[in-house]
Amino acid sequence: MTRLLPAHVLALAAVLGLAGANAMRLGPHRVALVVSLALACGALVVPPRARLPALAGLVAVLGWMFGSARLDTLDHSILTGDVGRAGQALVEVTGPPRAGAFDQRLPGRVRIFEGKHVGEPVQLELPLGRSPPQGALIDALVVVRAPRGPKNGFDERSWLRRQGIHVVLKVDRWSVVGRRGGLGGLADAMRRFLERGSAPGVAGERRAVLEGILLGDETQLSDSLKTSFQRSGLFHLLAVSGENVVLLAAGVLGLAWLLGLPRAIGHAGALAAIVAYVLAVGPQPSVIRAAVSGGAVSVAWLLGRQRDQWHVLLLAAIALLAWNPYTVFDAGFQLSFAAVLAIFVFARPLLGVLEGYPGGPRLHAAVAISLACSLVTAPLLALQFGRVPLLGVITNALAEAAVGPLLALAFGAAVLYPVAPPLAGLLAWVNGWVAAYIAFVARAVSAVPFAQASGRAAAWAAAGLLLAAAYAWRRWQTT
């Protein structure tokens, strides 16, 4: 068991303060009073035993204040006053398109609307067909409208509001007039680098699976294959995870070793590669958590300190919630952190149970991790999506062995493509077969009639798995 340290307490207090701003915000008229009380508490000489709770309370209040201010900023909108108006807008496209049944939607940021400087995130709606690429600056004729309210179990207004988006722009005509620069332009370049070099010559479903696992972009997958990934319990592979970051950092460290470079340069290169990868795939919760964890390993080594996995996990939560406290409602945030907590708490006891069974250490580890994650994330899946995959442990045990090679081949092809395109094409061709195997596993398992529980059955399945997790925890504590 990990000993609770003061750093853990203070980091947890910050997380609770930031998340608590969603329940009640500290208004501006209370800020001066809170700051005065905080300074007064800091000036008092408290007994040693009371110092940690007092500091934790102060950190929680400061997190609450900061979270409230961030929510006020995210809720501020200039364009809500223009709902119903049509006009000319200069818009920066900030992400790839997502096609629906009748239209396609893209994230964007309005720079200018009808001569007025705005700088506000929006959702763009375009007809199906041609769409501007990520990073493009477009001059568009748009109609400003309010997001839709709750319908068929989905509340577009609340979902967009939690991303700081308050209006939807229905695009009539558009033309590309340039590309964005700065950090956003660098992110676009990193994404194009991975898209172009990771799978040269690979097309169709295999390329869609490759890009889904490498970039967290499932938009190119067919609806039937998405359903197969969901029913089989493999949909988490389409959200960039810690494994991607670990393999990238390990590859950079291995390359530095082969070149005979000092280990410090290898770790500095790993940090740079992680930052570039985060820019390429976007600030997904699982990616930020994995990036903070991976970066902490290199920073700890460079500083000559040990890494504390619990502290790193809390720091990742602080980073995400400080940027957007609404993230606490995001399914990706909840599932990502629940899965890591499950691995920290349950994976080792489950490995002990599996000792002596056939399969070897690698299979035991895959089964233990998958089982731990399934136990803990099942209630969240039931609440968020109304379904629970029942064969996820089997599916992940079959697919996990292929995910590492797929990522390694994809990163390797991307690095080789600028200097040795034929070799990169060979790696991509092999990788296409790896992607085909993962798609086959998803389809084969999802075809089993009881692969997934939905509705009331999902609730019962989640409750059963949660009870099993509680029982396993109690047995481990008493042995």
- Global confidence as pTM: 0.80
What integer best gives the mean pLDDT of the chain? 81
Strand partners, 99: 104
In tens, the pLDDT along 337-395 reads 888 888 787 777 777 776 766 667 777 777 777 777 777 777 777 777 777 777 777 78
Of 41-50, 288-297, 306-315, 387-396, the least confident: 41-50
Parse the chain into domains and list their residue ranges: 6-75, 79-180, 191-478
Band the pLDDT of 1: cuts 50, 70, 90.
very low
What is the dotted CATH code of the domain comprising 79-180?
2.40.50
Using pLDDT thresholds of 50, 70 and 90, give the confidence band for residue 296: low
For residue 237, CA distances in Å to 49, 168, 222, 401 come to 46, 30, 16, 13
Q: What is the structure's pLDDT at 336?
A: 80
